[in-house]
Chain A
Amino acid sequence: MRDDGQMPRVDLFDLDHAPITVQDYFTVGDPGPIVAALAAVPELMAPTLGFIGAALGPGSIGVRYKEFAILRTSVLQGCSYCIHAHTTVSLDAGLSNLEIRALRGEVALEVGFPLDDERALIGWIDALAGATGPIPDDVWHAAQRYWPQHSLVELTVTVGATMFLNRFATGFQLPTAPHVTERLVAAGMA
Chain B
Amino acid sequence: MSDTIVSTGTIAAAVQSGELPARVWMYSNYHCNLACSYCLTESSPRSERRQLTAEQMIAVAEQARELGFTALGITGGEPFLLPWLPETVLAMAEHLPLVLLTNGTLFAGDRIERAAALAHPDVALQISLDSHLPDVNDMARGPDNFAKVVEAVPRLLARGVRVRIATTTGGPLDSPALSPLQHLVASLGVAEADHLIRPIVRRGRADEFGLGVQAVARDIPCELTITGDGAFWGSFGPTVRSGRLDTDLLLTRTILPLAVPANALLGVLRGMPEGTDARLGIR
Contacts and interface: CB of A to CB of B under 8 A. Distances in A.
Interface of A: 13, 16-24, 39-43, 45-47, 50
Chain A to chain B: the 5 pairs with minimum beta-carbon distance, closest first: A19-B250, A46-B3, A43-B252, A21-B2, A41-B253
Please indicate which of the listed interface residues B2, B251, B260 has the most CB atoms of chain A within 10 Å of its own CB.
B2
Chain B interface category by residue count: 10 to 19
Contacts of A39: 247
Nearest to B218: A20
A67 B169 CA distance: 60
Contacts of A41: 252-253
B249 interface: yes
Given A19-B250, A20-B250, 5 more contacts: A16-B248, A17-B247, A18-B248, A43-B253, A43-B260
A42 B251 contact: yes
A43 B254 contact: yes
Contacts of A13: 247
Nearest to A15: B248
B1 A42 contact: no
A40 B267 CA distance: 18
Chain A interface main SS type: helix
Given A45-B2, A46-B2, A19 B254 contact: no
B3 A20 contact: no
A43 B248 contact: no
Interface in B241-283: 246-254, 260, 264, 267-268
B217 interface: yes
B146 interface: no
A21 B247 contact: no
Nearest to A25: B2
8 contacts: A17-B246, A17-B248, A23-B248, A40-B247, A42-B251, A42-B252, A43-B2, A43-B264
B267 A19 contact: no
A19 to B, nearest CB: 4
Given A41-B253, A42-B253, A24 B260 contact: no
A19 B251 contact: yes
Contacts of B247: 13, 17-19, 39-40
B233 interface: yes
Contacts of B3: 46-47, 50
A21 B248 contact: no
Contacts of B249: 19-20
Interface string B12-24: 0000000000000
Contacts of A16: 248
Given A42-B2, A43-B2, A43-B264, A21 B251 contact: yes
A23 B267 CA distance: 13
A15 to B, nearest CB: 9
Contact of A20 (B248, B253, B254, B260): B248
A174 B247 CA distance: 21
Contacts of A20: 217, 233, 248-251, 268
A16 B249 CA distance: 10
Interface in B198-254: 217, 233, 246-254
B16 to A, nearest CB: 24
Contacts of B264: 21, 42-43
A41 B254 CA distance: 8
A21 B249 CA distance: 8
Contacts of A24: 1
Interface string B164-205: 000000000000000000000000000000000000000000
A45 B249 CA distance: 15
A46 B254 CA distance: 15
A84 B1 CA distance: 31
Please indicate which of the listed interface residues B233, B248, B249, B264 has the most CB atoms of chain A within 10 Å of its own CB.
B248
B260 to A, nearest CB: 6
A13 B252 CA distance: 15
A99 B268 CA distance: 46
A13 B247 CA distance: 9
